[in-house]
Amino acid sequence: MLATHNSPQIDKITTNNLLVVFAEFLDLDVSAGDAAKDTLKTYIRQLHQFLEWCDCRLLNPVTITKNDIKKYRRWMIEQKKYKPATIALKLAVVRRFYQAAVEKGMISINPAAGVKPPREKLDPAEKITYLEQTEVESLLGIIPEDGTIISARDKAMIAIMALEGTRTVELHRADIASLVRQGQNLGIRVEGKRSIRVVPLTPDIAHLLVNYLHIRETAGEVLKPTRPLFIVTGNNSRGKRISRRGIRAIVDKYLQQASLKHTPGRTISAHSLRHTAGTLALRSGADLRQVQDLLGHKDPRTTSIYAHVGDRWQNNPALKLNINIPSL
């Protein structure tokens, strides 16, 4: 018999019991047992916030009710001022926490089931921030060509992100063995969100990457297959795999130097470079399916948002109106 709030068995269950079951879920079920460390850390961090919220209110997580979960949602909206997408993530973690307990027969009802996040009020296209072609050229042009590992790495990495649309996590995970050569063509096998794909590099970008690796070899490094594709060059961590945070910091540095980080109505981030690749590719006439494959989108509707961004101004119906507006 499953434990319920009215069953004496529930008194024998502790928060630690639930945490043990959740730990097993993280290990075996998240991303079919192949979750990235960052993903697991995110799950644990979000759950701990919920447990701290319960503790501050003297609520027992074992006997919590659906109404309590709704109060948690209200707290996130009113006190923390979280965006709907952030609340959706936090509620999803809590829901999986209790679902793991349900599946193990520890509790009979998932109190977080059916508690939905507030609806997103923003236009999806409004989240898309990207650089124009001339801005990409300015960004790449500001990176020195001084023959150092740092400059060679940064130019290759940013070119791949801005023109090929790779995610930071994909470049973080890539090894020397991830390089794929077909004839004269070079690509990178990347591992993203539950998928693996080959990103075909343009000849110019391939030249940048080969040059970067050549400089590493010249410096005395043996490029074994298991070595990271992109490495740290600082004294404390020289030669180690570059982190996602490190990639974002590098991108931000050059965005700041190029005066592209913050402009009126727009803030550019490392992820904006992925948006840049999708938007500019569709604008230049690339097929939607081709761009979907390049970016590794499961759903073509995700890719189509980039097309909508460009269409909003270029195909604005108001441009077809033959109305003269008096000049000021």
Contact by Cβ (8 Å): 131, 162: yes
Within this chain, do residues 259 and 111 fall inside the same structural domain, yes or no? Answer: no
Which CATH number characterizes residue 61's domain? Answer: 1.10.150.130
Output the pLDDT for position 313.
67
Is 246 part of any domain? yes
Within this chain, do residues 98 and 152 fall inside the same structural domain, yes or no? Answer: no
DSSP string of 215-280, one letter each residue: HHHHTT----TTSBSSB--STTTTTSBPPHHHHHHHHHHHHHHTT-SEETTEE--HHHHHHHHHHH
Task: Say if residue 202's pLDDT is above 80.
Answer: yes
- Residue 121: both structure tokens together: 């009020």
Output the pLDDT for position 193.
65
Q: Number of C-alpha atoms within 13 angstroms, CB side, residue 169? A: 11
Domain boundary among 87, 120, 153: 120
* Cα–Cα distance for residue pair 69/51, rounded to 1 Å: 11
Within this chain, do residues 113 and 135 fall inside the same structural domain, yes or no? Answer: no
Window from 2-6, 266-270, 294-298 with minimum mean pLDDT? 2-6
Report the amino acid identity of residue 179. Answer: L
Within this chain, do residues 295 and 246 fall inside the same structural domain, yes or no? Answer: yes
Output the pLDDT for position 125.
65
Within this chain, do residues 59 and 148 fall inside the same structural domain, yes or no? Answer: no
Q: How far apart are the first and last CA of the chain?
A: 79
Domain boundary among 83, 100, 120: 120
Alpha helix (H) residue ranges in the chain: 15-28, 37-56, 66-78, 84-103, 133-141, 149-164, 168-173, 203-218, 244-257, 270-283, 288-295, 300-314
Q: How confident is the model at residue 301 (pLDDT cuts 50, 70, 90)?
A: confident
Q: What is the mean pLDDT of the chain?
A: 88
Q: 276 vs 39, 40, 134, 166, 223, CA distance in Å?
A: 25, 29, 12, 11, 31
Is 326 part of any domain? no
- Residue 7: both structure tokens together: 């069953």
Within this chain, do residues 268 and 213 fall inside the same structural domain, yes or no? Answer: yes
Is 47 part of any domain? yes
Within this chain, do residues 59 and 137 fall inside the same structural domain, yes or no? Answer: no
Count of structural domains within the chain: 2
Within this chain, do residues 256 and 206 fall inside the same structural domain, yes or no? Answer: yes
Over residues 95-123, the mean pLDDT reads 88
255-294 exposure pattern, b = at least 16 Cβ within 10 A, e = fewer: beebebbeeeeeebebbbbbbbbbbbbbbeeeebeebbeb
3-class SS of residue 200? strand
DSSP string of 298-313, one letter each residue: SSHHHHHHHHHHHHHH
Output the pLDDT for position 310.
65
Task: Say if residue 11's pLDDT is above 70.
Answer: no
Which CATH number characterizes residue 278's domain? Answer: 1.10.443.10
Within this chain, do residues 140 and 115 fall inside the same structural domain, yes or no? Answer: no
Domain boundary among 70, 91, 120: 120
Output the pLDDT for position 21.
83
3-class SS of residue 30? helix
Is 201 part of any domain? yes
Task: Say if residue 34's pLDDT is above 70.
Answer: no
Within this chain, do residues 112 and 152 fall inside the same structural domain, yes or no? Answer: no
48-87 confidence digits (pLDDT tens): 999 999 999 999 999 999 999 999 999 999 999 999 989 9
Output the pLDDT for position 324.
75
Within this chain, do residues 102 and 134 fall inside the same structural domain, yes or no? Answer: no
Task: Say if residue 315's pLDDT is above 80.
Answer: no
Output the pLDDT for position 168.
95
Is 196 part of any domain? yes
The CB density around residue 170, as the number of other CB atoms within 10 Å, is 25
Is 99 part of any domain? yes
Q: Which carries the bigger pLDDT value, residue 299 or residue 250?
A: 250
Pairing of strands 262-263, 196-200: unpaired
Highest mean pLDDT among 7-11, 24-28, 214-218, 236-240 belongs to: 214-218
Residue 35: give the domain boundaries.
8-120
Is 263 part of any domain? yes
Length of the chain: 328
Over residues 251-260, the mean pLDDT reads 98
Q: How confident is the model at residue 109 (pLDDT cuts 50, 70, 90)?
A: very high
Q: How confident is the model at residue 297 (pLDDT cuts 50, 70, 90)?
A: confident
Q: How confident is the model at residue 237 (pLDDT cuts 50, 70, 90)?
A: confident
Within this chain, do residues 83 and 102 fall inside the same structural domain, yes or no? Answer: yes
Is 325 part of any domain? no
The tokens 């939905």 sit on which residue? 116
Percentage of residues in the chain having pLDDT higher than 70: 90
